[in-house]
């Protein structure tokens, strides 16, 4: 019973991730990642 | 691995894994010569580490940077009914945490690796008081979630507060190289840049004298994954009957925890050094139903 928790958590997490991908969030992350992040380098 | 019944010091192969991951996550070397950042289509894949996506050769996306972007844009997106909630990144972070907890901190994260290398410089060393480890939760809640969400500009966009004000990984991996490589960015250098360089210098000084201080006191990614340590598929265990409380595991631990007091502490980066260092075979780990004790050190404990 106790060891079901991580499997449930993992399944829910993967489900949430899949919904995010279906909503097109990969593109949002990609657009951020391929643009020089001025905040990250300290000139934003 | 032969099951011999005497203790011998196993070779710690973890630095090789850390080096391989550091190189693998930052493998697009041509970008360094062009003064650009890698812009391939795979860069939207989140990496299980604090690795700045503005590092010229970074192959993937930093999940903490990506999460702040979603929190910063959430109010604008809601106002225009755009369905972008950060579920991809949140699901990724929770999936990694559910599977292995904080293990990527110990094996994958290049910034953790850098801290461990710098700590090897022989100087007097300082312990980190335990209360300081709670600060990372404040960083996670305020800099990654609350401030990007609550403080927005006239368009409804929040900033990436952690990246902007704190992240020394971004300064080291992106700030310094890009300012050196891209002449057109240099006129933009001002207070913020010097603030971040100053902070990096302070952190590097701290890396010399303390073990993984950034991971333990500041890193929001480690703070989040640490919450999963108790409930993840990968678990550490201590056999109380074999443990002699010799404290060898505590002395060898890169995050200075007493695993015999709390086997799945949120501070543990699961480097497994304690498994190797315990000559009584009292410390083990379990993953997907398999339980492992370091075979090199499996000796009979005290009667």
| A13-40 residue pLDDT tens | 999 999 999 999 999 999 999 999 999 9
Cα distance from B148 to chain A (closest Cα, Å)? 13
Residue A20: which domain range?
A: 4-41
CATH 3.90.550.10 fits B235-297, yes or no: no
Residues B153-165 have pLDDT tens digits of 999 999 999 999 9
Residues B59-116 have pLDDT tens digits of 999 999 999 999 999 999 999 989 999 999 999 999 999 999 999 999 999 999 999 9
Nearest to B160 among A9, A24, A39 (CB): A39
- What's the domain count of chain A? 1
The 10 Å CB-count burial string (b at 16+, else e) for A5-40 is ebeebbeebbebbeebbebebbebbbebbbebbbbb
Which of B170, B293, B176, B183 minimizes the C-alpha distance to B243? Answer: B293
Average model confidence (pLDDT) for chain B? 92
Task: Give the chain B residue nearest A36 (alpha carbons).
Answer: B54
The answer to whether B44 contacts A23, with C-beta atoms less than 8 Å apart, is: no
A38 vs B: CB within 8 A: yes
Residues B191-201 have pLDDT tens digits of 999 999 999 99
Sheet of B283-287, strands arranged across = B235-238, B283-287, B290-293
SS3 of residue B285 by DSSP: strand
pTM here is 0.92
Rounded to an integer, what distance in angstroms lies between the CA atom of residue B161 and that of residue B143?
5
B99 φ, ψ to 5°? -80, -55
Q: Where are the domains positioned within chain B?
A: 14-226, 235-297
The answer to whether B65 contacts A21, with C-beta atoms less than 8 Å apart, is: no
């Amino acid at each position: 019973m106790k060891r079901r928790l991580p499997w449930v958590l993992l399944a829910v997490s993967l489900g949430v991730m899949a919904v995010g991908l279906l909503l097109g969030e990969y593109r949002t992350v990609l657009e951020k990642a391929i643009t020089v992040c001025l905040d990250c380098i300290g000139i934003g | 691995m032969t099951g011999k019944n005497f203790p011998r010091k196993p070779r710690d192969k973890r630095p090789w894994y850390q080096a391989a991951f550091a190189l693998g996550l930052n493998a697009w070397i041509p970008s360094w010569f062009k003064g650009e950042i890698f812009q391939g289509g795979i860069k939207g894949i989140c990496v299980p580490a604090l690795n700045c996506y503005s590092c010229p050769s970074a192959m993937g996306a930093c999940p903490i940077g990506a999460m702040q972007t979603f929190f910063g844009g959430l109010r604008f997106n809601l106002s225009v009914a755009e369905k972008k909630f950060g579920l991809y990144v949140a699901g990724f972070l929770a999936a990694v945490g559910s599977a292995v907890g904080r293990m990527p901190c110990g094996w994958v994260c290049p910034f953790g690796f850098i801290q461990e290398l710098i700590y090897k410089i022989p100087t007097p060393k300082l312990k980190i008081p335990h209360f300081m480890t709670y600060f990372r939760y404040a960083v996670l809640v305020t800099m990654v979630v609350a401030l990007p969400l609550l403080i927005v500009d006239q368009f409804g966009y929040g900033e990436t507060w952690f990246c902007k004000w704190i992240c020394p990984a971004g300064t080291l991996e992106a700030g310094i190289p890009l300012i050196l490589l891209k002449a057109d960015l240099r006129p933009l250098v001002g207070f913020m840049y010097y603030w971040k360089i100053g902070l990096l210098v302070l952190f590097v000084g701290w890396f010399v004298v303390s073990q993984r201080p950034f991971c333990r006191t500041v890193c929001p990614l480690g703070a989040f994954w640490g919450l999963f340590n108790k409930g993840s598929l990968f678990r550490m265990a201590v056999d109380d009957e074999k443990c002699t409380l010799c404290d060898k595991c505590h002395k060898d631990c890169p995050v200075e925890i007493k695993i015999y007091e709390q086997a799945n502490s949120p501070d543990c980066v699961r480097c497994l050094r304690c498994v190797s260092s315990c000559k009584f075979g009292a410390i083990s780990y379990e993953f997907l139903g398999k339980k492992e004790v370091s075979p090199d050190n499996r000796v009979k404990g005290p009667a």
